[in-house]
Amino acid sequence: MATEEADTQFWVDKAQNILAHKLQAYNQLNNKRAKNIILFLGDGMSVHTVTATRDFMGDSSMQVSFEKFPYTGLSKTYAVDKRTPDSASTATAYLSGVKGNYGTIGVNAKVPKYDCYKANDTSTHTESLAKWAQDAGKWAGLVTTARVTHASPAGVYAHTANRAWEYDEAIIEDGCSPEINVDIARQLVEWPVGKELRVVLGGGRRNFRDKTMNDEEGQPGLRSDRRDLIKEWLDGKRAEKKSAEYVWSKKGLEMVDISKTEYLMGLFSPSHCPYHGDLKRNRLENSDPSLSLMTQKAIELLSKNEKGYFLFVEGARIDMAHHDSRAHKSLEDTEQFAKAVELARNMTSEEDTLIVVTSDHSHTMSLNGYPYRRQNIFELAPGKASDGLPYTILSYANGPGYSKTFSSKTGRRDLRKYDTQDPSYRFMATVPLNSETHGADDVGVFASGPMAHYFVGNYEQTNIPATMAHIANIGPFADDKL
């Protein structure tokens, strides 16, 4: 126990310090317009995930970077047709201000998932923050550790009845026509919002090339239309006499001359980018960029526009590790996500740049038992359960971790036989599922910059883009539209 925490005055002083900062913030409200807006999305980053990340970083009393932002709220994440949402329906909500159905992107709730025709009615299409920014003369870009055609980043530019339609063959497999339904990769390269994104950084090379073509690392594509959309993107920009760069490695990204580049596409993996902790463990630090490096390059390029920009940054693999019940990797990615937020705040000014940090949905991971204050978050809880066996501090309501929890022959397993410190360890789960599910609880919203005080309270997820657009004076929520 920290000796100073045993003293009453320690807590009095701490409370006075927090109060002083709050009073200062409220007495000096920043009511300026935002020239730049950045939306950071920790995919699946529940409040529990943020709390556990503090413990992973060292202690419960710590704060991750965005918890130091002056204003905090909660958003409600449900979809129109489901109480527990997915990353597609929520992307539509926090990027365009409209709630849709589970599994759909950039369309309203008139479009059910899998429908082969309704998403082609442009009256069902929603407009994103990226479009509103582009219409106002600002630049827009996206950064993700997922495929750039995955559910969350696709919400920036795409309109589809099925989040899985990332390439043409996926549409065919669902019994629909890829001519009637344009796949997400094509929308990024061909449709107005995607085509005009100044920065696109993440994974997903395979969705842009035909299966007869190998990428820079020898991996085949997934398309069946004989097209190389990366080459088409480059050729199109050069035909318009615009300076465009495509890179596929960390070295390539570092070598880009931002001062001479108008458009930048970086696809660093056939599918998703590696987990952040695996960059070091698998000796990929020199080949694959971190989320922080991608964020830095995106801000450097977008900052060249005197009218400002909108940037979407997603820490995608927080969510994917949770689905695998691999809490260790999820917390590593959350820590890196927080570092990317801190970097962005340090690269920009609170006077003209609004930064909002939130999540699309939660997960079922919880912190339980009565662990000691300084105990490693990945260890077993100090006490034993009623069956005389230990249990982990972190556990899931469901998921593949069930196999590490129960045996059909012996019942609950003795977890002392397992290395719970292994980053690939699957933590306890109550219900057996191949993939752990999302949670339906509210998620945090953290804001810093112009009019950040608008983000306090509890509100619909759709309120986030509406408020950001109003603060930047763009789109349907600009002053002259209210």
Asked if 181 and 121 count as a contact pair (C-beta separation under 8 A), the reply is: no
Under 8 Å between Cβ of 129 and 469: yes
Instruction: Report how far residue 290's alpha carbon sits from residue 384's, in angstroms, rounded to the nearest whole number.
Output: 39
Q: Distance between CA 312 and CA 316 in Å, rounded?
A: 12
Cα 192 from chain centroid (whole Å): 23
Which H or E element spans position 355? strand 353-358
Return phi, psi of residue 343, to 5°.
-60, -45
What's the gap between Cα 447 and its chain centre?
Answer: 16
Measured between alpha carbons, how far is 415 from 427 in angstroms, rounded to an integer? Answer: 10
Cα(93)–Cα(87) distance, rounded to whole angstroms? Answer: 10
Please list the active-site residues.
Answer: 87
β-strand partners of 203: 147
Q: Looking at residue 452, what DSSP letter applies?
A: G
Q: From its phi and psi, is residue 202 left (phi > 0), alpha (psi between -120 and 50) or beta?
A: left
Tell me 351's DSSP state.
Answer: T
Residues 6+ apart with CB under 8 A from 246: 230, 233, 234, 265, 266, 267
